[in-house]
A = this chain, B = another copy of it.
Amino acid sequence: MNFSNILAALDNAKERHLEDLTEWLKIPSVSSDSTRKSEVAAAANWVAEKLKTAGIATKIVPTDGHPLVIAETPPISGAPIALVYGHYDVQPAEPLEDWISGAFEPTVRDGNLYARGATDDKGQVLTHIQSVCDWMATGEPLPLQIKFLIEGEEEVGSENLERMLPSLRDELACDCVVISDSGQYAKDQPAITYGLRGIATYELKIQGPSQDLHSGSFGGAVMNPAIALCHLLSSIVDSEGRIQIDGYYDDVQALSEAERAAWAKLPQSDDQFAKEVGVDALFGETGFTTDERRWARPTFDINGLTSGHQGEGVKTIIPATASAKISFRLVPNQDPKKLTTALQNHINQHVATGVKATLEPSHGAPGMAADPESRYAKAAARAIASAFGTPPVMIREGGSIPIVTRFQDVLQCDCLLLGWGLSDDNAHSPNEKFCVQDYYRGIKASAILWTELGKLNESQA
């Protein structure tokens, strides 16, 4: 095998690689939007066609929601099996008016490709697809079997995939899952992520009077549902950022001293961080650094508030209802189901008189911790160092990829989180982007990763 041929082929294909991603990003595959069902399906078809065209055995597997795309290259005796996992669905693009160029009109500006899904996750997962497709086009044999599982419900909790995973155990059997759906530590400082936070999301609704009431005639007579909501939400987290639900911190896995020491060496500046996100000062639970708080401490966030009059001008009403979309990030060892029970108890105890509170759990997933010293992690570190010119740092991430712990449990495999994104990529925000250079470096790192992983069993044999 002449690996330099493969790298040269990848190098020569940059223009096409960008065109491919642009084409895929044009499809508004918003999985949470029930009116976008056909677009979500189109995004699945796009990636299935891409894989098929390269000669990879590919199928589209229906689910109760959006379909899975499953593919695999031929088995290679004596080599490990890698499973690339990613998702073709994207977050909603709203508020649309805040996008400089259209959310589904991919546009390159200043070396970045702007579009919903650019970094989360179409651009990132496509790096692995490109490296395998182009490798196969050279006629050289792949050094290991590579499977693909590209799903369409990551942004809504991966519940169908979770449910179906046991039945796909044989088909997806692998030694190591490879996921690129996270970030580098900083520009030009790649990272391997060995931990993720879990998540639990809810909608909390407060019902007061049967309809909006005149705040003059009724103000002082009935509980205002929006006030009840604010009091209830405020009771969940104190002004220091500590969550007040009974037992919330009981199962929290403490940070090891080794981790805290390693992270303390990372180049980080709270001032710079604050500047990048546009705030005067950062904020969070006392006693922890910013990276510790966002990677390894549980949090509570309000994702949306809705009540009463939102239009122009004044409307002096007591709104009939008020609601909030809320979410918790969990750390490894916290159980989202246990949280739901504790949260419901908290609400029952703290809800005001004269209104009714309803808690609707949406999706939940536990956090994940992998071994930063595994042979797969070391192989990935070599691949990244070679492609990026800098060895990766070992970090955790604050986001959640709900399916990852399920892979570990069901497939009994290791897990590599190799993020090519950046913290200012605006995943889940307007003007999401992906650095075009990192897209290319990701493709190169992916190709090198296959050679590094291919060597593993041999060297151990």
Q: Is the CB of A318 within 8 A of B301?
A: yes
Chain B, residue nearest A426 (CB)? B211
Cα distance, A274 to B379, chains bound together (Å): 68
- Residues of B near A322 (CB, < 8 A) are 302, 305
Closest Cβ of chain B to A195, distance in Å, is: 12
Cα distance, A212 to B103, chains bound together (Å): 15
Report the stretch among A218-226, A382-390, A433-441, A449-457 that lies at the interface: A218-226
Contact with B along A147-178 (1 / 0, CB 8 A): 00000000111000000000000000000000
Q: Judge whether A98 is part of the interface by a CB distance below 8 angstroms.
A: yes
Q: Judge whether A378 is part of the interface by a CB distance below 8 angstroms.
A: no
Q: Judge whether A78 is part of the interface by a CB distance below 8 angstroms.
A: no
Closest Cβ of chain B to A289, distance in Å, is: 10
- Residues of B near A214 (CB, < 8 A) are 399, 427-429
Q: Is the CB of A216 within 8 A of B199?
A: yes
Q: Judge whether A26 is part of the interface by a CB distance below 8 angstroms.
A: no
Q: Is the CB of B227 within 8 A of A315?
A: no
- Residues of B near A399 (CB, < 8 A) are 214, 216-217
Q: Which A residues contact B (CB, under 8 angstroms)?
A: 32-34, 91-92, 94, 98, 155-157, 183, 197, 199, 201, 208-224, 226-227, 229-231, 233-234, 237, 239, 241, 273-274, 277-285, 290, 293-294, 297, 299-319, 322, 324-325, 327, 329, 352-356, 362-363, 397-400, 423, 426-431
Q: Which 4 A-B pairs have the closest CB atoms?
A: A210-B278, A216-B399, A32-B313, A226-B302
